[in-house]
Structure 1
Amino acid sequence: MATLPVRLDRDAPGPLGVQLSGRIRDLVLAGTLTRGDRLPSTRALAVELGVSRAVTEQAYEQLLAEGWLTARRGSGTFVAAGGAARADAPSRRPLRPPTDLVRLDAGTPWIDPRHAAGWRRAWREVSTARPPRGYDDPRGLPELRAALADRLARTRGLAMHPDEVAVVNGTTDGLRHLLTALPPGPVALEDPGYRAAVETVRGLGREVRDLPALAPVTDLTGVAAAYVTPAHQHPLGRVLPGPERVSLLAAARAAGALVVEDDYDSEFRYDVAPVPALASLDRTRVAYLGTAAKSVAPSLRLGWLVAPPELGERVQARRTVTHEGVPWPVQRACLALLRDGYVDQVVRTARRVYAERAPRVAAALAPYAELAGPLAGMYSTWLLPAADAERARDAARRAGFEVNLLADYCRSATLTGLVVGFGGVTDEELDRALAALVSAL
């Protein structure tokens, strides 16, 4: 018969029977009690705990009803199938994840809590709106595409008709749609570069060709597409210079390749005005990808794609058949957030926060490492020897923070260092993380 290491708090709110059922349930979930264990009788347990038998009967009845326990006539009460295994069982897996580390990554933005009312207002509007009767236009809600076209013209210098905009489930979803509509062939990606894009290309069965992120692109022979982040190279932070933009487009024209521009982090420059989009130089050769992940929330999973006309038609023809649209509630909420000025407010606030935090990070790390690119956006990348970077990463983990190694973004490149994000943390957390990094360096 299993013992029940439980104690009841008579000063706690709520009935003792509810408290006892919760304690027993936790023992099952933790694996202290496992399938087939026999529990004490309600009478014996009541005596052991110093409570009335009604308390233990109430707890057992609740757990029997929930399926955690089973009663066998004449034998007693047992832990039912579905309970966790004992700690000494080889198949046991932890049911409760370890304490999450606070991530100082390159993709988690700062969303000022003072704007929460606008977020709630948008979703209240969604709750009262009437959803469409069937599948939406795969390009997205017409009103949302119009709002996005207006925003891209205003902020990125891209003038277009709303019908040229396609709403997608984030950047990698847009990339997947583009590559599915292209002829076979390898895809060139920056190295170091965006790991999710690399895995998207590989997942489609295409070969990945490395483009050295710090070298001009002059030859794209043999590739179907080249994926680049010209506004703020991920993760080095470099802006693609004008002459290199021209040479990239010339190489794409000569090879008949598509350039896929991921306009990463373009809204968060605070050293200079936002750099114009690469697509503004050649709309026939460049497919443009944008996302709400940095300006609204990564978990919204909403982005937009502006493809050259013929390619865009092929993408939408396929999406019409596969119904691969973005969920209507998400589109409807994003429309309200754009229309009511929420997105502009969040971007302005975040830009000010990043402009204040970036120099703090630089002041802490500059004595020990070399800055890889300009101070812009929500992270900075620091070059230093691999052993130093790993030691600093480990010290940050011990302090409760996750900081990425630059080497994790590399394939053939041999750069080493740290990628330190400062968007998705509080000021106090950032100070503690920097103290841990500095102590190690």
Structure 2
Amino acid sequence: MLPVHLDRTRGVPLGAQLSAAVRDLVAGGTLPRGQRLPSTRALARDLGVSRSVTEQAYEQLVAEGWLETRHGAGTYVAADPARVPEPGPRPRVASSRPLVRLDTGTPWIDPRQSAAWRRAWREVSTATPPRGYDDPAGLPELREALAAHLARTRGLQLDPEEVAVTAGTTDGLRLLLAALPPGPVLVEDPGYRAAAATARQLGRPVLDHPARTAPDDLSGVRAAYVTPAHQHPLGRVMPAAERVALLDAARRADALVVEDDYDSEFRYDVAPVPALASLDRERVAYLGTTSKSVAPALRLGWMVLPAELHDRVQRQRRLTHDAAGWPAQRALLSLLRDGYLDKVVRAARRVYAERSVRVAAALGPFGTPAGPLAGMYSSWLMPQADAVRARDAARDAGFEVNLLSAYCRSAELTGLVVGFGGVTDAELDAALAALVRGLEGRGPVSPGSAGRRPPAPAAPRR
């Protein structure tokens, strides 16, 4: 008799229970290869079940390759035991509460607009989904709405067919880089870490370029990734002269400029700077996202590519069934039609403007702003030792604040990058108080020492 127990009170069919039990006996080595099993009739009698239960279990295990039947001889084990390594000790997981993140990418969403959010998803639930695979470029109605949105907010005059919906900025970057010929990608330093990681994952070398100036020589470069409206993470706006020089350099080198326009709508002082792509549509690939205006979890964005590259990318997406999810696209269409994006952006802009002043008041005595105050975060230049001390004090108080050096690859800038979008006012005040506690006890930073790593110690003589 097989050492098997069947439980009729479980919500699992008896045949499935029996096949799982015999499978475990074989995989564990209790039943070795070549072992003859009881007949289905005998096993059914031993277990007190109908013969159909044992026949079903044996047939399943024969189909999976664990058992084999020999004509006129019975049923035998056909597989060796599975070699499963002994599990090692599980690492201990800290039981402390998770840190509240003051990151650069989590937005503040006006809670007064929650009704529109729910209404959009109700509309999704009543809409008819596509019969087959989605158009890889996105819903035609959404592309039309996005074209109108970009014309009104970013100065891009587009046909809807020129817009393609993506699963976010890094998805769009991955798609367009995969469609380009081989060659390195120039990325701002310090810069968006996901952009450099995406290029490397595609096997492309990453060339660092100092983020405080625009590149004016792209010789040997296939693409240059930039954030001209609000450099990430320094906050610098690329001046008009540098924009023109960058495009001239791209034309001379036959390189593509990739514009990540991730949060240009959140300017407090003046109207948003027009997109770089508005100056040259055939030399600039434009990327946008809903992560900063709607929600990162929506995982939606858009891209506007030069015509030939657009066609190449969409052919590849069609071949691989690569498309943003239909429910999220349909919800975004409802939000655009309802004016949701305009409302949450206006409200968030006011909140960010007020919070940026509070951050500046707290950190101003200890550091130098890396760029103009805009968006949902600000970066502050200060010596690395001071930044680490402030970061550690914030962590002790339950907050996670990033060091500027974490965004650098070869650059030597140091300081803090403080996000203020994804927190409450009370959390922001508590985090700033902790940062100040970590920075107290010294005078204001002198202009010459702020934001530079201390020189490395001299190597010992051999």
**Residues 291-313 of structure 1 deviation map (CA, whole Å, 9 limit, x = unaligned):** 00000001111000000001100
Cα distance in 1 for partners of 2:340, 2:92 equals 41
What is the letter of the counterpart of residue 313 of structure 1?
D
- Structure-2 residue corresponding to 1:249: 247
1:290-439 aligned at under 5 Å gives the runs: 290-439=288-437
1:54 matched residue in structure 2: none
Structure 2 gap segments, 5+ residues each: 1-86, 440-462
Equivalent residue for 2:218, pick from 220, 242, 245: 220
Select which of 194, 197, 200 maps to 2:198.
200
> In the alignment, which of 265, 277, 300 is matched to residue 267 of structure 1?
265
The residue correspondences of 1:83-162 to structure 2 (distance < 5 A) are: 91-94=89-92, 98-162=96-160
Number of residue-to-residue matches in the alignment:
353
Q: Which amino acid aligns with 1:116?
A: S
C-alpha change, 1:124 and 1:97, in structure 2 (3 Å) is farther
Structure 1 letter corresponding to 2:317: R
Distance (Å, rounded) in 2 between the aligned partners of 1:243 and 1:429:
40
Q: Which of 191, 199, 203 is the matching residue for 2:189?
A: 191
Gaps of 5+ in 1: 1-88
Q: Which amino acid aligns with 2:225?
A: Y
Letter in 1 for 2:275: A
Match of 2:135, SS?
coil
Is this contact kept in 2: 1:104–1:403, CA < 8 A? yes
Q: Structure 2: how far apart are the matches of 1:245 and 1:429?
A: 38
Q: Given the alignment of the two structures, is residue 240 of structure 1 paired with residue 238 of structure 2, yes or no?
A: yes
**1:92 Cα deviation (Å)?**
2.2
Alignment partners' CA distance in 1, 2:92 and 2:296: 28
| C-alpha RMSD of the superposition | 1.1
1:248–1:124 CA distance, 2 compared to 1 (3 A): same
The 8 Å contact of residues 403 and 420 in structure 1, kept in 2 or not, is answered as yes
Does residue 177 in structure 1 map to residue 175 in structure 2?
yes
* CA distance in 2 between partners of 1:281 and 1:107 (Å): 27
Deviations 1:44-91 (A, max 9, x none): xxxxxxxxxxxxxxxxxxxxxxxxxxxxxxxxxxxxxxxxxxxxx961
Q: How far did 1:416 drift?
A: 0.2
SS at match of 1:189: strand
The 1:190/1:97 distance shift into structure 2, 3 A limit, reads farther
Paired residue secondary structure (1:266) = coil
Paired with 2:321 and 2:96, the residues of 1 have a C-alpha distance of: 38
1:274-305, Cα deviation, whole Å (9 max, x unpaired): 00000000001000000000000011110000
CA distance in 1, matches of 2:272, 2:250: 24
Whole-Å separation in 2 of the counterparts to 1:98 and 1:257: 49
Mapped contact 1:234–1:264 kept (Cα < 8 A) = no
Displacement of 1:96 after TM fit?
7.8
What SS does the aligned partner of 1:216 have?
coil
